[in-house]
């Protein structure tokens, strides 16, 4: 999947910083690659999350969907790729989503912005052949569709038709006839074939614009919570590493350390 923009990642990072202000880390287990870390606010349970690792996998769970990643024996080592030497964090949801052992569908959701962008791109490609199509689409959508919802967006696509036209074209000569109704074009085609002989056939082609390639449109983008979880993982690993760098790796179970 094509990744979201770096601007969106920065927005998620800013939100994460706000959501987790004051969070503390509780070490519930720290035995090699067997880890259980809990991150939560001291005064409330909003946006809590925990990181659990066993050989070959990392589980993220929290105040939303949970995700299971599998790639290497020590998954903290895998996610350290998002921690730069200067301490800054960088998520890579496109690559990381490929390592999901849990449902990948949970990492994405319908995006109205993507929907509008895909429609606009399609119209830019066909505007010369179908002048006025963008205005017709706007009127079509405003009539009864709320494209904030995927089902409504798909219905708007499937019911849209523009430039009703049908072309009957003879396969044996240069004869052709275009009409705005299929029955009219088909009747002219039959008449032509009767007059011209058996070698002449004139199939009718529908020239009306429809979204015939809906399945190729990209309408899914990374869900904000998955991006938040990616941010939480690298942030949590960085905090864990920082605590260990202080020589506190032998913390007693359930002791809290400021993150």
Average pLDDT of 177-186? Answer: 90
Buried b / exposed e across 19-41, counting CB within 10 Å, b at 16+? bbeebebbbeebeebebbbbbbe
- pTM of the full structure: 0.76
89 in any annotated domain: yes
126 in any annotated domain: yes
What pLDDT shows up at residue 252? 37
116 in any annotated domain: no
What pLDDT shows up at residue 3? 45
Buried b / exposed e across 74-113, counting CB within 10 Å, b at 16+? bbbebbeebbeeeeebebebeebbebbebeeebbbebbbe
How many folded domains does the chain comprise?
3
3-state helix, strand, coil in the chain (%, to 5): 40, 25, 35
Place of tokens 């987790």: 20
What pLDDT shows up at residue 257? 54
173 in any annotated domain: yes
> Is residue 102 domain-shared with residue 10, that is, in the same domain?
yes
Percent of the chain beyond pLDDT 70?
92
> Is residue 106 domain-shared with residue 233, that is, in the same domain?
yes
What pLDDT shows up at residue 1? 45
- Give residue-wise pLDDT tens across range 80-133: 999 998 888 999 999 999 999 988 888 999 999 999 999 999 999 999 999 999
Distance from C-alpha of 213 to C-alpha of 157, rounded to nearest angstrom: 10
Please report how the helices 224-245 and 6-19 are oriented relative to each other, as an axis angle in degrees rounded to 10: 60
250 in any annotated domain: yes
What pLDDT shows up at residue 4? 59
Residue 7: is its pLDDT beyond 80?
Answer: no
> Is residue 172 domain-shared with residue 196, that is, in the same domain?
yes
> Is residue 105 domain-shared with residue 232, that is, in the same domain?
yes
Q: Which residue has the higher pLDDT, 3 or 48?
A: 48
73 in any annotated domain: yes
Average pLDDT of 195-200? Answer: 90
> Is residue 77 domain-shared with residue 12, that is, in the same domain?
yes
By residue range, what is the domain housing residue 180? 164-208
Distance from C-alpha of 68 to C-alpha of 103, rounded to nearest angstrom: 9
What pLDDT shows up at residue 125? 93
135 in any annotated domain: yes
> Is residue 102 domain-shared with residue 190, that is, in the same domain?
no
Average pLDDT of 186-205? Answer: 91
> Is residue 130 domain-shared with residue 64, that is, in the same domain?
no
Distance from C-alpha of 225 to C-alpha of 65, rounded to nearest angstrom: 8
pLDDT grade for 250, boundaries at 50, 70 and 90: low
> Is residue 170 domain-shared with residue 153, that is, in the same domain?
no
1 in any annotated domain: no
Residue-averaged pLDDT of the chain:
90
Residue 45: is its pLDDT beyond 50?
Answer: yes
Q: Taking a C-beta distance cutoff of 8 angstroms, is the pair 48, 24 a contact?
A: no
> Is residue 191 domain-shared with residue 241, that is, in the same domain?
no
Average pLDDT of 237-250? Answer: 80
> Is residue 135 domain-shared with residue 193, that is, in the same domain?
no
> Is residue 105 domain-shared with residue 227, that is, in the same domain?
yes
> Is residue 151 domain-shared with residue 237, that is, in the same domain?
no
Tokens for 160? Answer: 């849209």
């Amino acid at each position: 999947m094509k990744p979201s923009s770096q601007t969106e990642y920065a927005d998620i990072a800013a939100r994460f910083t706000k959501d987790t202000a004051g969070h503390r880390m509780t070490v519930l287990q720290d035995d090699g690659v067997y880890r259980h870390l809990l991150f939560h606010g001291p005064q409330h349970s909003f946006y809590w999350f925990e990181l659990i690792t066993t050989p070959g996998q990392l589980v993220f769970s929290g105040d939303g969907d949970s995700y299971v990643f599998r790639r290497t024996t020590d998954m903290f080592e895998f996610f350290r790729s998002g921690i730069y030497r200067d301490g800054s964090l960088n998520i890579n949801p496109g690559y990381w989503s490929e390592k999901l052992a849990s449902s990948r569908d949970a990492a994405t959701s319908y995006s109205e912005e993507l929907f509008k962008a895909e429609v606009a791109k399609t119209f830019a490609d066909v505007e010369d052949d179908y002048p006025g199509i963008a205005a017709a689409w706007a009127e079509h959508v405003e009539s009864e569709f709320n494209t904030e919802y995927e089902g409504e967006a798909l219905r708007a696509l499937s019911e849209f038709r523009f430039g009703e036209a049908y072309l009957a074209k003879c396969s044996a000569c240069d004869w052709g006839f275009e009409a705005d109704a299929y029955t009219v074009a088909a009747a002219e085609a039959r008449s032509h074939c009767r007059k011209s002989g058996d070698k002449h056939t004139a199939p009718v082609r529908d020239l009306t614009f429809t979204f015939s390639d809906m399945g190729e449109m990209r309408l899914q983008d990374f869900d904000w919570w998955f991006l938040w979880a990616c941010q939480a993982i690298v942030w949590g690993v960085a905090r864990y590493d920082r605590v260990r760098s202080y020589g506190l790796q032998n913390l007693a179970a359930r002791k809290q350390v400021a993150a």
